[in-house]
Amino acid sequence: MQTEVRVPPHEPELAPSAAPPRRWRRRVVAIVLILASLTLVVGAVFVANYDPVCGNCGGVGGVQGPGAKDLGSYTSPRGESFNAYSVDLVPGKQFSFWFTLTNPDHLPVTITHIGAAPQPYDTFRVARVQIQSANLGNAPLTAFRPFALSGPYKDFVNVLVTMQMRRCLSSGGYTEFGSIPVSFKVLGVPRHTDVYLLSTIRLVGTSAVPCNH
């Protein structure tokens, strides 16, 4: 007796289809865009927090003007040394103070402005700013203009800020400061910081100056 065995028809195996050429290109483009975006974000965060401008890294200091008094040298709780000064607060009078700007980091910056924008009820405000290269001996003072600070510690620029007192304080009252706003650019991006001085300056109301407010 003959047995018939039926064999199912054999279907040829198809080779796995290769991914369309455009698919891997899209993946590469997507990866490149993601990496570029991450680089931009990291760069933006870095620039937004980059603050190398230093005013208490050495250099000149001091206060001059009518009624200015040197109160001596002191050391802060953090171990930083500074000089204290007092100035009799007389509306209309001026006083000046020195400090030096430098850049301890490697990325260069450009100083674009020194001092805060005037406000209607300022007790004192910036009347003028003058600069002097500390890298050149006996360099003359000139009116402020934007200048570069390359680093680390390659450029030192002395700054003389003259303040005009505008409002009085009653006898015994005082206001003091030890920093000044500075605007600068890094990689073309505008930034602002408060530069700390080597001096603390106290403006003191006196009985010789009547004050009705």
Asked if residues 29 and 35 have their Cβ atoms less than 8 Å apart, the reply is no
Q: Cα–Cα distance between 78 and 107 in angstroms, integer?
A: 27
Strand order from edge to edge, sheet including 124-133:
63-64, 94-102, 156-165, 124-133, 142-143
How far apart, in Å, are the Cα atoms of 56 and each of 14, 158, 203?
76, 12, 21
pTM of the model: 0.77
How far apart, in Å, are the Cα atoms of 159 and each of 55, 63, 68, 111, 162?
10, 12, 18, 12, 10
Q: Cα–Cα distance between 184 and 112 in angstroms, integer?
A: 5
Q: Cα–Cα distance between 65 and 145 in angstroms, integer?
A: 24
Domain boundaries, the chain: 21-50, 63-204
Q: How far is CA 78 from the centre of its chain?
A: 22
Q: 63-204 domain in CATH 2.60.40? A: yes
Q: Alpha helix (H) ranges present in the chain? A: 21-49
- As averages over each run of 10 residues, the pLDDT of the chain (213 residues) reads 57 56 70 56 49 83 92 79 91 95 93 93 94 87 96 93 92 91 93 92 87 65
